[in-house]
Chain A
Amino acid sequence: MTPTSASVDHSRRRDLIEASLKRRHARERRFRRLGLGAVILGMGLVAILFASILMRGVPAFWQATFTLDVHFDPEVIRVEAKPERGPGESEADFRERHLAWQGQVGMVNWQQLLDRALMAELGEVEARQARDLRALIASGERFALRDRFIEDPDLLGQTRSLKLLASANVDVWLKGNIDRSLPDHQQQLSAQTRAWADALHDRGVITNAFSTALFLNPDSRSSLASAGLAGAFMGSLFMMLVVILLAVPLGVASAIYLEEFAPRNRLTDLIEININNLAAVPSIVFGLLGAAIFIGYLGLPLSAPLVGGLVLTLMTLPTIIIATRAALRSIPGSIRQAALGIGASRVQTVFHHVLPLALPGILTGSILGVAQALGETAPLLLIGMNAFVANVPGTPLEQSTALPVQIYLWQGNELRNFFEARTSAAIIVLLGLMLSLNALAIWLRKRFETRW
């Protein structure tokens, strides 16, 4: 080999490298652009999703509301005085008397009070227009009047300025969610009701007020405008409590045992594989399991948040175990060795040294698991939690729905014009809860994170 040939060889090699370098740079640029494109596409789709939900849902947080002077007319409310508990009267006797009184109050024609309040605004209304008149105010408001009276019987004979929800169709009409130019036979409200609604709106009797009903009321079907999320929210809350009380301690304990104490053998390998598989099992399978075991075999009640919580616990356990094990594994072995080296027992090592360091990871995993459970719908459908429940549950054993199920139910309601917006509003509430849970997880991680 002569030096000349060597330098020729060298320059050829350089040419080759330079040529390929160009190709490699081009490839890298292509890959980067592709990756950036994917991110932009993904973010764009998320933005479209959020924008469409927000645009539809945010207006539903405000609802057409009457401000009316209602006179609690003693001519209409003919009931005895509210029973007081007499001396020496037993609790049961008093409750019975109180119940009888409530029955009496319930028989009062509360609708008449509403009609009169409206007529005070609109002038006399002919008898044949009674139906048009009643279409203005949400039908559930008569019960609201009754409950207000039961709460405070001194209202008798007084006039109060009250906020009353307009009916769902009036809300739809005033917000323009139905095409206002459609002919009469395609409208939900009669021409007279529409004219009244417009007139009252112009005079400020009907205003678009922030809807507390959406947060304070349970679901309703007889008075659609009063339908709210309170029942579903409490149902979800009870389920999350059950999940937090069961899945988190169980999951963390199993993870600690498997990671720190269990011997490595075929059995623990098998368990590990099974846990990983369980994490990938579709959630509906847990629903079937729950329906068979908790309701069919153990005889727990249908539609109860307790059962929902148990099913979601089963679903969340693998997630928490895997997250906890990963958190424990990321703690350097030197920490354990140091603790053992100064004479700590294994339990002391784990609970005094490893666990506190792994806590941020464990908390993050647990919160994400709980957030996932919060958004879960499919298994709940199988244990009867997709029922219509008009009460706010007071205990985890009372029937209830959950937030995601409520979204599903509202999505299926017949009155699309009203519930399309209502559904999106419920989605916003659920998303808000999820975001705050995730934010909490991030905050906890940042707060307790240790670097080495």
Chain B
Amino acid sequence: MNRIIKTTAIAAAVMGSVSVAQARETIQIAGSSTVLPFASIVAEEFGNSMAQFSTPVVGSGGSGGGLRQFCQGVGENTIDIANSSRAIRNGELENCQANGVNEVLEVMFGYDGIVFASRADRGAFALTPGHVFAAAARQVTVDGEVVDNPYTRWSEIDAELPDQEIVLVIPASNHGTREVFEEKVLDPGCDSLGMDGDACHSLRGDGRIIEIAGDYTETLARLDAQADAVGVFGLSFYDQNRDRLQVATVDGVTPSLETIGSGEYPVSRPLFFYVKGEHLDVIPGLAEYTEFFLNEMVSGYGSPLEDAGLIPLDDDERAEALAQFQARTLVTGE
């Protein structure tokens, strides 16, 4: 009996301590799974180099998920930084403002390439956006006429491509990567087939397009299960799994740090994170983290982030990104 009273008292004490809100000392980050490895490395190095700050916590959830959490409001139980593999949308910015988040600071910190990769033990692909569109779209033009997608094998699209079943594993729309895939691959491909409008983003529904809402490991698992499949990956993921994957060229260019950095490889995108201005003076280390991230030693050439597959900014871009943050330039939306 006594013991039960004691336990209940302890439980009540635990509940009571809850109401004493404690100032958060750790930066809280969430968002893009493409940015996650980079942000995690920076967070860890930041925590290791700056003894006065604790190591930031980095969550995932996709670019869209991160920005939604970011725009939930201002306060210690909301995140401070949203990682994103695309720029913030106007709708998201409005949502932010509706919830009282008025100071959204954009920081661009590098580039990432999106690659098509297939299993190393299968045929090699030399793709063009036109090929990918012809494989993925609901309707395509054949001999000048718009018809339902008739292709079932890559070799039917182009005799040069391997004679393999068409299965394309792409990121679902919660990923920023999807937007880049649509803009940089589907749109030009659509153009090259002489089509436009909604037809460009309308994908076939016969099971040859597989959308992955999780991360690239899931895409890789798909390739293990369906040997013929071609998957969409980030360059860094491909880089760490080169023993299992072979990468496809796009327009004859092999993706690499050099070809993406120079803009030669067409499918690349800038990576961002968004800092909540309202939290800058509340959460210790938030400004320092941002500047640390933009440091040459952290995200430049020869840095741990480059080793992890990030394509660094050049000196001018870096200086501009830093100046923009230091001047606390807000995102206004177009």
Contact = CB atoms under 8 A, between A and B. Distances in A.
A221 interface: yes
Contacts of B149: none
A329 B310 CA distance: 63
B257 to A, nearest CB: 14
A443 interface: no
Q: Which of A253, A389, A411 has the largest number of chain B CB atoms within 10 A?
A: A389
B262 interface: no
25 contacts: A99-B51, A102-B51, A186-B120, A186-B243, A188-B242, A220-B44, A221-B41, A222-B41, A222-B45, A242-B14, A248-B7, A249-B8, A253-B4, A302-B77, A306-B14, A384-B30, A387-B29, A387-B60, A390-B47, A411-B217, A414-B216, A414-B237, A414-B241, A416-B240, A417-B243
B55 A391 contact: yes
B4 A301 contact: no
Contacts, number: 131
Contacts of A417: 241, 243
Contact of B243 (A99, A188, A245): A188
Contact of B59 (A387, A391, A412): A387
A412 B51 contact: no
Given A99-B51, A299-B21, A399-B57, A186 B77 contact: no
**By CB atoms of chain A within 10 A, which of B29, B59, B218 has the most?**
B59
B86 to A, nearest CB: 20
Interface stretch (A23-31, A177-185, A275-283, A365-373): A177-185
A221 B76 contact: no
A416 B244 contact: yes
Contacts of B51: 99, 102-103, 106
A245 B11 contact: yes
A246 B11 contact: yes
A254 interface: no
Contacts of A306: 14, 18
A415 B309 CA distance: 12
Interface residues of A, number: 52
Given A186-B243, A303-B57, A306-B18, A222 B26 contact: no
B242 A388 contact: no
Contacts of A187: 242-243
Given A103-B50, A351-B1, A387-B60, 5 more contacts: A187-B243, A253-B4, A302-B79, A398-B26, A412-B33
A416 B304 contact: no
B121 to A, nearest CB: 11
B322 to A, nearest CB: 21
B28 interface: yes
- Name the residue among A221, A249, A301 with the largest chain B CB count within 10 angstroms: A221
B237 A387 contact: no
Chain A facing B: main interface SS: loop
B60 A413 contact: no
A299 B23 CA distance: 12
B190 to A, nearest CB: 31
Interface in B122-142: none
Interface string A384-405: 1011111100000111000000
Contact of B10 (A99, A220, A221, A245): A245
A230 B242 CA distance: 30
B28 A399 contact: yes
Contacts of A253: 4, 8
A221 B40 contact: yes
Nearest to B42: A222
A249 B237 CA distance: 48
A143 interface: yes
Nearest to B217: A412
Interface of B: 1, 4, 7-8, 10-11, 14-15, 18, 21-22, 24, 26, 28-30, 33, 36-37, 40-41, 43-45, 47-52, 54-55, 57-60, 75-77, 79, 120, 214-218, 220, 236-237, 240-244, 304
A253 B7 CA distance: 11
Given A185-B242, A414-B241, A143 B48 contact: yes
B57 A178 contact: no
B58 A387 contact: yes
Q: Sort A-B residue pairs by CB-CB distance and give the 5 closest, nearest first.
A: A387-B59, A221-B40, A222-B41, A388-B58, A399-B57
Contacts of A186: 120, 242-243
A178 B40 contact: no
A295 interface: yes
B217 to A, nearest CB: 5
A298 interface: yes
Interface string A210-237: 0000000000111100000000000000
